[in-house]
Amino acid sequence: MAEAFLHYLWQFQYFAKQNLLTTTGEVIRIFETGNRNTHAGPDFLNARVKIGAVEWVGSVEIHVHASGWTDHNHDADEAYENVILHVVWRDDKPVKRNDGSLLPTLELKQRVDEGLVLKYKKLLNAVDSIPCAPSILQVPELTRFSMLDRVLTERLQTKSQEVVAWLQRNLNNWEETCYQLLARNFGFKVNADPFLQLARSLPYKIILKHADKPTQLEALLFGQAGFLSDKKVNDDYVRELQREYTLLAQKYQLEPTQLNKTQWKFLRLRPANFPSVRLAQFAGLLHQRQNLFSRMLETESPAAFRQLIAVEVSAYWKTHYQLGVPAKDEVPSFGERSIDTVLINSVVPLLVAYGKSRDQQVLIDRAVTILQQLPAESNTVTRMWAGLGIKSKTAFDSQALLELNNNFCSKRRCLDCSMGASLLKPLR
């Protein structure tokens, strides 16, 4: 038995309430179950309960065993002095208040339908990645839609909070924060960490000073990334970058924070996804779209956002996947799927974070519109849901399903999920 299940039983009152008594025989009448408390303190706040002849307003605390009260040191915590009812699965020990009086206790063990308990245990112990997989289509469509709306909102909130944390680290510089977030996402999953480390070791103010000079910009990025350390490469372009980086690194004292080429991952990547190609594309973006965050705030339609991120690489990188190694065919451009990924993971969180910080709902709505008009992502999670009959039509759907999978299904938070709670709802 888990406390989360008892929270669920209490919140929705899924137990027999006929002849409801405390463990000492006092009659209980429940008027309001209270508000679920997700912070420190009792589990439910502002409950209203009549015990015997007295009506109480206060908190409700829930434990699997009554002895959990003392095991968790609630008897020594002033935050629990206003608890009016102790709800437990099994009353294994009388609990007293600080003044020595017994804390009214309600035992649920004999009041819950065994079928409901079995359904909960079956869901909790399911071997499927999505616990409710066999029954998901039994959930009303409206319940599914409302849950997806909820988790998408939570995902945007979490991502915007991450942006704000970066912003504080960057002394409230939105352009610097935008630059770092874009860098991480140009690394996609495999090279996200070294890309972010690169951006943090090469401040945006330095980038801006050389953004109008493509060769110097590429020298800064490739040199600081550690790609120019091989002096044996017989290539005029590489030698030019090496010369430029030597001067710039000395000027800005960059060498102590320079990355090592071994930090970058090439293995099992298609050539178009090589970090060297992504660096060239990132350089193109920084050259052609200076002060990008300010431009984002002025952009409105998803199509215009796509155009903002769609950039050309320099001539060298149209014929090379790696420094000093000519490609057999022309290197593909930064494709639509890659652009959409950057929009979803960089532009959308930035708009939401800025909109919230400036109380500009129009920017938050614009971010949601981008997700609603971009095609759904295709990955192992979305394909898993599609196999169950829950298909993503837009990025709004796929982002919601990712959040649902990562923070509910994989953590077995079925009772916090509207769909799981719907399947557990006892038959009347």
Q: Show contacts of 168-177: CB within 8 Å, 24+ apart.
A: 173/204, 174/293, 174/350, 174/354, 175/204, 175/291, 175/292, 175/293, 175/294, 176/203, 176/204, 176/205, 177/293, 177/350
State pLDDT tens for residues 4-28.
899 989 998 999 999 999 999 999 9
Which residue in 210, 159, 1 sits closest to 92, CA to CA? Answer: 1
3-class secondary structure, 258: coil
Compute the C-alpha angle 316/317/322, nearest 5°. 105
Q: For residue 133, what are its two tokens?
A: 């997989």
The pLDDT of residue 124 is: 79
Measured in degrees and rounded to the nearest 5, phi and psi for residue 258 equal -65, 140
Region 115-139 average pLDDT: 87
**pLDDT score of 427:** 62
Q: Which of 63, 92, 64, 71 is nearest to 1 (CA)?
A: 64
Q: What is the DSSP letter of 407?
A: I
- pLDDT at residue 299, as a whole number: 95
Give the pLDDT confidence score for residue 264 in this predicted structure: 97
pLDDT digits (tens, 9 = 90+) for 282-300: 999 999 999 999 999 999 9
One-letter amino acid of 204? Y
The answer to whether the CB of 87 falls within 8 A of the CB of 60 is yes
How confident is the model at residue 372, as a pLDDT? 96
pLDDT band of residue 134 (cuts 50, 70, 90) is confident
Cα–Cα distance between 136 and 386 in angstroms, integer?
12
What values do phi and psi take at 241, rounded to 5? -65, -40
Average pLDDT value for the chain? 93
pLDDT tens digits, 162-203:
999 999 999 999 999 999 999 999 999 999 999 999 999 999
pLDDT on residue 428: 55
**Nearest to residue 419, comparing CAs of 158, 153, 155, 131?**
131
Domain coordinates of the chain in residue numbers? Answer: 3-124, 170-334
Q: Is the pTM of this model over 0.75?
A: yes
Q: Does the pLDDT of residue 67 top 60, yes or no?
A: yes
Q: In this prediction, what percent of the chain has a pLDDT beyond 90?
A: 81
Q: 337-358 burial by CB neighbour count: b if 16+ within 10 A, else e?
A: ebbbbbbbbbbbbbbbbbbbee
**Bridge partners, residue 105, by sequence:** 86
Residue 422 contacts residue 132 (beta carbons within 8 Å): no
CB 94 within 8 A of CB 66: yes
What angle in degrees, to the nearest 10, is found between the helix axes of 361-373 and 141-169? Answer: 120
